[in-house]
Every structure is written in C-alpha cells, then in structure tokens.
Structure 1
Amino acid sequence: MSATPPDRSSREYPNRPWVGVGAVVWRGDKVLLIRRGKAPRMGQWSLPGGAQSVGETVFETAVREVREETGLEVVPTGIVTVVDAITPDAEGRVHYHYTLVEVAAESAEGDPLCADDALEACWATAEEAGELTEWDETRRVILMSAAQRRNPTP
C-alpha cells in the first residue's frame, strides 16, 4: 500500500515558496520580539509576522500579524530587506520555504498581549535581541533596521 503524497499546497514540503511578512516593530530604542508557538523555529524568539493573504499588501500583512500576535497597533515605515528562509529536513528535502519581506514599523503605546502564534512577547534593545534570538537572519534584520532608523535615506 502506498502512502498518500504530501499536499504540495501546504506550508510543509511546499511546491512553491510562501510569502511571509515579518515586522521589525520599534518603540524608542527597543524592538518587539515574540516567542514562536508554531514551526518552523517553534519556541524561539523571533519577529512577529506570518503569511501574506491574497489581496493583502505587505504593509497590511505586517499590521494584521502584529495585531493578531500581540494586540499592538503599528504604523509601517518601510521595507528593511527580503530574506530567504529555507529549512531542509533530515534527507535534505525542502521542509519549509518562505520568502520573508521584513517591514519596519513603529508602535506608540500598549503592552503586548500574546495570542495566535505567539507564546510570549517582550521589548528588547538590539543588543538584547541579539542574545535572545537564535537565527542569524533575525539578528541581521534587527541590526539592519536599527541602522536604517539611525541613518534614514531621503
């Protein structure tokens, strides 16, 4: 008897990359981190974010995802960068493949209240975030966003 093949339209073992949007949310000199409640990188500190929906702009996705995961309202301020997040399985097959558009945003007030995919949330300086996060790309994106805030381009 043969096994049922995986659903290639799913996020696991996809037949195409999924577009995800991460939000680098700032309040003063601190960035918002969430502890992920779902794979990939479950349990790790990361930036809030998730999959873009059909008909939704990148900025709309960032605002929605931050609201769903933390209850905070944010104002997007620009694109930081784009990251390829490709996670292989033990046999080398692509288990997850996301193209992540990283959006900078500001949050004026409120405390994060975790919901949806977030187990915890905290505000951290870029240096503290570097110690909490495990994925090099998350650290790189936070530092890149911090540098862009210090030296905005006209």
Structure 2
Amino acid sequence: MSSGPVIGVVVILIKGNTVLLGRRRSSVGHNTYALPGGRLEFGESFEECAAREVKEETGLHIKEIQYLTVTNDVYTEGEKPLHLVAVYMRASLSDPDQLPENMEPDKCYGWDWYDWKNLPQPLFRPLETMLKSGLNPFPTNLN
C-alpha cells in the first residue's frame, strides 16, 4: 500500500504562445509529454520548488512564479499505486534567450517549446486533467 499522496509542483513555463514540455523516461507516464517539475521538499514553498525543479531539470532560471491550480490523480495500474497531487505554477524565463538543456537524461528524453493550442501527444495524465478543467495558463494581458 502507498504511504500517501505525493505532492508535485509543476511549472507552465511560458514563452510567447508556447510552453516547455519534456518526454518522460520514468516508469509513471513513460513516453508522455510533461511539464518540468517534481516533488515538493519539506519546508519548501511552491515558488521555491518551482524554481529549483526547473533549474535542476532544464538549467533555466525563471521569474514571475504564480500559483494557478491543482490536480488530483490516482494511478492504480502498474506495480505500485500512486496518488499524485500536482500544484501548477506559471512562470516566465528570467532571460528570454536562455535555451533549455536536458539536465536529467535518465528521466527525460529532452525539452522543447510547443504551441499551447497544438500540444504533442500523449500527455502526462495530470496535464490532461488540468487541460480538461479548461484553465487558460496565459495571463489575460498577453491575449
């Protein structure tokens, strides 16, 4: 039996009308496209976790980190059940000329920018859940 929910912080990193996605290599959601992010560490704020995870996974520095929403997904298929609570944050690049690097090639096949209205498939389940909610992650002053 699982020890309880896992709390992850994921970042919708916006550049123009695109978002940064990577194709997962891990057992949960293998080969699906996901946002950068990871587990919330003890005592960490959502903003701190967002900045740390993006830096660890992509080498990018981010700013204007804001809370957007949360999803609640339970995976019962596979060897170990997983209950994932994903906290969604929005951010932008500190330097728009930064390029993402694949800092964790054992966990990700690589990062790229994708048009929000034409996302690659298949998507990681928590991202699909968030999309089904109808949330628009783009600030209204940009539209």
What interval of TM-score do these two structures reach, taking the shorter chain for normalisation? Answer: 0.7 to 0.9
* Cross-structure match for 1:6: none
Question: Structure 2 vs 1, CA of residues 42 and 17 (structure 1 numbering), >3 Å: closer, same or farther?
Answer: same
Structure showing the higher helix proportion among its residues: 1
TM-score w.r.t. the length of structure 1 is 0.77
- The CA RMSD measured in Å over matched residues stands at 2.3
Gaps of 5+ in 2: none
* Cross-structure match for 1:88: 76
Question: How many positions carry a matched residue from both structures?
Answer: 136
Question: Structure 2 vs 1, CA of residues 43 and 16 (structure 1 numbering), >3 Å: closer, same or farther?
Answer: same
Identical positions, percent: 24
Q: Distance in 2 between matches of 1:26 and 1:44?
A: 19
Q: 1:104 aligns with which of 71, 90, 95?
A: 90
Query: Aligned pair 1:144/2:135, yes or no?
Result: yes
Larger radius of gyration: 1
Residues 73 and 125, structure 2, Cα contact 8 Å, conserved in 1: no
- Give the counterpart letter for 2:127 in structure 1: T
Q: 1:66 aligns with which of 31, 46, 54?
A: 54
Q: Distance in 2 between matches of 1:86 and 1:54?
A: 22
- Spell out structure 1 runs of 4+ moving beyond 3 A: 139-143
Q: Distance in 2 between matches of 1:135 and 1:114?
A: 18
* Cross-structure match for 2:8: 20
SS of the equivalent of 1:82 reads strand
Residues 59 and 76, structure 1, Cα contact 8 Å, conserved in 2: no
Q: 1:134 aligns with which of 95, 98, 123?
A: 123
* Cross-structure match for 2:45: 57
Residues 86 and 126, structure 2, Cα contact 8 Å, conserved in 1: no
Q: Distance in 2 between matches of 1:121 and 1:101?
A: 20
Q: Residue deviations 1:44-76, cap 9 Å, x none? A: 111111101112111111111111111111114
TM-score w.r.t. the length of structure 2 is 0.82
Q: Distance in 2 between matches of 1:140 and 1:98?
A: 12
- Which structure has more RCO (C-alpha within 8 Å, separation ≥ 6)? 2
